[in-house]
Amino acid sequence: MLIYAGIDEAGYGPMLGPLTIACAVFSVADHDPALGAPDLWSMLRSGVCRSRGDRRGRIAVDDSKKLKGVADGLVHPLRHLERGVLAFLPEEAPCADCAALGAMLRAALPETVWYASRSPLPVGQTPEEVVIARSMLRRALERAGVACRLMTCEVIDAGPFNQQVAMMGSKASVNSCAVLRLIDQVWRLWPADHPRIVVDRQGGRTHYLKDLQASFPEARIRVLDESPELCRYELVEGGRHMTVTFCVEAERRHLPVALASMTAKYLRELLMLRLNRYFAALEPGLKPTAGYVQDARRFVAEIEPAIRRLGLRREALIRSV
């Protein structure tokens, strides 16, 4: 059995809203790891595709930036992200709201007042459509001998984000530490199965040995590759093994990374819906924001009266970098 995991983030650059880092873990019953990563898009093609407009109605799994729609489109902008994330959730229980989704993803959701409203799910389709998608996916997974074993997400909102940046020195370090915590979680859950973990690589960095050694000081680490395209390391500790790959545009090549990208983006967007709802109630006519720097500055300027009136902590709302 192959344990095949992907990690990706959403919200690294914005000024408002959380940084979310997600991990999706699959098991593949009959695959020789020596052959490289399996093509899960091909293995699951009866129920999964890459395109939002598939004529067969299959579930789109791809980079979250390609699946999120526009606000004034014909369908809800989160429809395709939501369909994929809710279909793949390993738990059978219905996901009634954002809090339930957070629990299923083992995500500690922020407790600040602007996230307090309830967000019933699904937001972009009917519950019946989600049930149909889950049923179609389940058949595809069973035929292929594949299972989605875990979907999890770490949420770092502006306040904790600012504190961690101050302590670690950069937002890159905050993101890297979260990624390493997820890697450790996978290894702890499947210590005897030599998990293969793929991480979407940000920027031009091509060396991760020091970070891995600091996080896993007891492990012997062998560098398998360090190139402009990917960095790959094998870790051995006692009787357990793990291979970690940091790959450019990993969401295009590895379905678990694409699903992690979708999960991180979907949860962040649901939290941004709450944030926008809270401030719109305080400032009627306020245009929503996605949290990215230029528009976030406009948004913060417009909610400034509410911030002062209610004594809201700016460092808990607005990121420092």
Query: Tens digits of per-residue pLDDT, 133-183?
Result: 999 999 999 999 999 999 999 999 999 999 999 999 999 999 999 999 999
d(C-alpha 115, C-alpha 135), whole Å: 32
Examine the pLDDT at 203 and tell me if it is beyond 80: no
Examine the pLDDT at 130 and tell me if it is beyond 80: yes
Taking residue 167's Cβ as centre, other Cβ atoms within 10 Å add up to: 9
Q: Calculate the dihedral angle through the C-alpha atoms of 196, 202, 208, 212, rounding to the nearest 10 degrees.
A: -60
Q: Would you place residue 253 in the very low, low, confident or very high pLDDT band (cuts 50, 70, 90)?
A: very high
The strand ranges marked E within 132-274 are 146-156, 196-200, 220-226, 230-237, 240-247
Q: Would you place residue 234 in the very low, low, confident or very high pLDDT band (cuts 50, 70, 90)?
A: very high
Examine the pLDDT at 194 and tell me if it is beyond 90: yes
Domains defined for the chain, CATH in brackets: 2-274 (3.30.420.10), 275-317 (no CATH)
- Token readout for 147 is 């299972």
- Token readout for 32 is 């020789």
Predicted confidence (pLDDT) per residue in 269-300, tens digit: 999 999 999 999 999 999 999 999 999 999 99
Q: What angle do CA 99, 261, 59 make, to 5 degrees?
A: 85
Cis amide prior to 122 (ω within 30 degrees)? yes
d(C-alpha 184, C-alpha 10), whole Å: 20
Q: What are the distances in angstroms from CA 44 to CA 135, 192, 255, 304?
A: 13, 26, 10, 49
Q: Would you place residue 30 in the very low, low, confident or very high pLDDT band (cuts 50, 70, 90)?
A: confident
What is residue 24's three-state secondary structure?
strand
* Residue 302: φ, ψ to 5°: -75, -25
Those residues with Cβ within 8 angstroms of residue 156's Cβ, 6 or more apart along the chain or in another chain:
18, 19, 20, 21, 164, 174, 178
- Token readout for 141 is 């997974």
Examine the pLDDT at 204 and tell me if it is beyond 80: no
d(C-alpha 63, C-alpha 256), whole Å: 11
- CA-nearest of 147, 200, 208, 171 to 4 is 147
Examine the pLDDT at 265 and tell me if it is beyond 80: yes
pLDDT, the chain, mean: 95
Mean pLDDT within 46-55: 93
Mean pLDDT within 204-221: 93
Q: What pLDDT, on the 0 to 100 scale, is given for residue 229?
A: 86
Q: What pLDDT, on the 0 to 100 scale, is given for residue 42?
A: 97
